Structure 1
Amino acid sequence: MRYSANLGFLFTDLALPDAIRAAHAAGFDAVECHFPYATPAAEVAAALAQTGMAMLGLNTHPGDRGAGDFGLAALPGREEEARAAIAQAVAYAAATGTRAVHVMAGVTDDPRAGATFAANLAFACDCAAPHGITVLIEPLNPRDVPGYHLLGADHAARVIADVGRDALRLMFDCYHLQITGGDLLMRFRALRPLIGHVQFAGVPDRGDPSVGEVDYSWLLPRLAAEGWDAPFGAEYRPAGATGDSLGWLSRWR
């Protein structure tokens, strides 16, 4: 099995190009990130070329975090900002060879949010198509992000069906989906045709994946046996230095 380091949480004491190199040195097979935009794309592309690793995904800009934004794509009245963030993400992904863009929905209770999200996702698929980039949506959990528009895998599956674009896929984040229903293996099987990426972290605290209520040493090989042959994304918050938290990586090889 192969593993990807999510550099939004891992090796965060390093500049992004150095974090890519550190992930490679630690034994990861690929990387992914959250918001890389402060780093020139050429520097990221150079680090990826040097290490031979792929960047699996990045997020659209979340908006004004200080004002409570956590994504823009489902916010009525902010379509111009949302589409600028999508275009920015797709351009950065194309420049770095990144395979997928996660379009963040945002926090809203506006009844028009569903239609707004669907229209912006169709726009994202149109932007991504010439570059062969996958568009991902990720259902979160209401404990971590109260009021987030996209909650639960069933909601995400309905959105994908409604938008009806081949490039649109589900981010199967085991941490969030355990909190919003559990039964991860059965849900993976049911959703398998829709899944574009898999992430994992310890539950309930999003810490070390070898600790907590989900036994990933059991689960991840079973997801692989279901036909998942891409890297699993380690998106957890280490309690200290990233290097000190990587015992699971060598054990689960």
Structure 2
Amino acid sequence: MIVETGAGPIRLAANLKWMFTEVPFEQRFDEAAASGFTGVEFASPYELPAARVRELLDRAGLVQALINTPAGPAGSPTAMGAAYVPGAREEFRAGVLTSLEYAAVLGAPVVHVMAGLRPENADPELAFASYVANIAWAAEQARGSGVRIALEPINKRDQPRYGLASMEVAAAVAEAVDPDTVGVLFDVYHAQVDRGNIVERFERLVPRIVHVQIADNPGRGEPGTGEIAYDRVLARIAASDYEGWIGCEYGPLAGTREGLAWTERIGR
């Protein structure tokens, strides 16, 4: 979906985990296309064969903008990712390889490598060193494939033990490891909860940003339902050098299609 902001166009991708939940997952591709989207993202395609997901994309005429690396079982140490979990190296590596296989079939340009939770008894420095080494290994696997590795922090209010601390730390890791292959997933919602100052931080980090996601705060609903001045934020993103997708990773407050009215208000 192309939306004019007044400062230029932006490309929106529907997040099919959060949006169009009124229908079963496989029907959400057609719903997204019927609502004007040309791209989609979702964390986990792994419940279906890659060829089936490719078929759903092609049938709806959609581009896959992003996928995540696989998560471990609910309640496990790697339920939110394995990169930051000392001792989970083999699970991490297997997940990265699987995600790159899916990305190749789906044509996804970005794979979000989830950090995961730092175990309570883990040494913080050891956990961080393990994380950086894991990201370096993932970059080696992705190098030359056309896939960018994205690193996303989660704010400490919602998940105090999430390993990756901030957008700035993510950018520093990307710079240290391989800035041509690794970059930042700039989630506006998480940035707002974590210190705010969204526009300045975005513009400072934009050379390292490979994907953007949006939701309002509080409530994580669609833009216009909270305190974030999305008309200005999205206009600044449109005016920047960022040319990638903006994923709508929000939970519509009153139905997905009804909630899309915000896209008509942005450019006014």
Pair in the same fold by TM > 0.5: yes
| Residue 17 of structure 1, CA deviation | 3.7
Q: Is the partner of 1:172 in helix, strand or coil? A: strand
- Check the 8 A contact 2:12/2:246 in 1, yes or no: yes
| Residue 70 of structure 1, CA deviation | 1.2
In 1, Cα distance between equivalents of 2:169 and 2:182: 14
Length-normalised TM-score, structure 1: 0.94
- Check the 8 A contact 1:122/1:165 in 2, yes or no: no
| Residue 116 of structure 1, CA deviation | 1.2
Which of 13, 25, 31 in structure 2 is aligned with 1:4? 13
Which of 163, 174, 191 in structure 1 is aligned with 2:188? 174
Aligned to 1:85: 95
- Check the 8 A contact 1:136/1:169 in 2, yes or no: yes
Residues 1:20 and 2:29 are matched in the alignment: yes
Which range is displaced more, 108-117 or 72-81? 108-117
Aligned to 1:61: 70
Q: Is the partner of 1:65 in helix, strand or coil? A: coil
5+ residue gaps, structure 1, are none
CA offset digits 1:202-229 (Å, max 9, x no partner)? 1122112211110112210111111223
Aligned to 2:136: 122
| Residue 240 of structure 1, CA deviation | 4.2
In 2, Cα distance between equivalents of 1:19 and 1:207: 18
Aligned to 1:96: 106
In 2, Cα distance between equivalents of 1:218 and 1:127: 38
Aligned to 2:241: 227
What is the number of equivalent residue pairs in this alignment? 253
Length-normalised TM-score, structure 2: 0.89
- What value does the CA root-mean-square deviation take over the aligned residues? 1.6
In 2, Cα distance between equivalents of 1:145 and 1:122: 25
CA offset digits 1:60-105 (Å, max 9, x no partner)? 1121222353111111111001111111111111111111110011
Amino-acid identity (%): 39
Alignment of 1:17-166 (within 5 A): 17-67=26-76, 69-109=79-119, 110=122, 111=124, 112-166=126-180
- Check the 8 A contact 2:209/2:242 in 1, yes or no: no
- Check the 8 A contact 1:100/1:133 in 2, yes or no: yes
| Residue 251 of structure 1, CA deviation | 3.0
Which range is displaced more, 88-97 or 226-235? 226-235
CA offset digits 1:104-152 (Å, max 9, x no partner)? 1111152211111112112212222242111000011011112001021
Evaluate the alpha carbon distance shift between residue 206 and residue 5 of structure 1 in structure 2; reply closer, same or farther with a 3 A threshold.
Answer: same
In 1, Cα distance between equivalents of 2:104 and 2:21: 23
Which of 177, 184, 205 in structure 1 is aligned with 2:219? 205
Aligned to 2:5: none
Residues 1:215 and 2:229 are matched in the alignment: yes
5+ residue gaps, structure 2, are 1-9
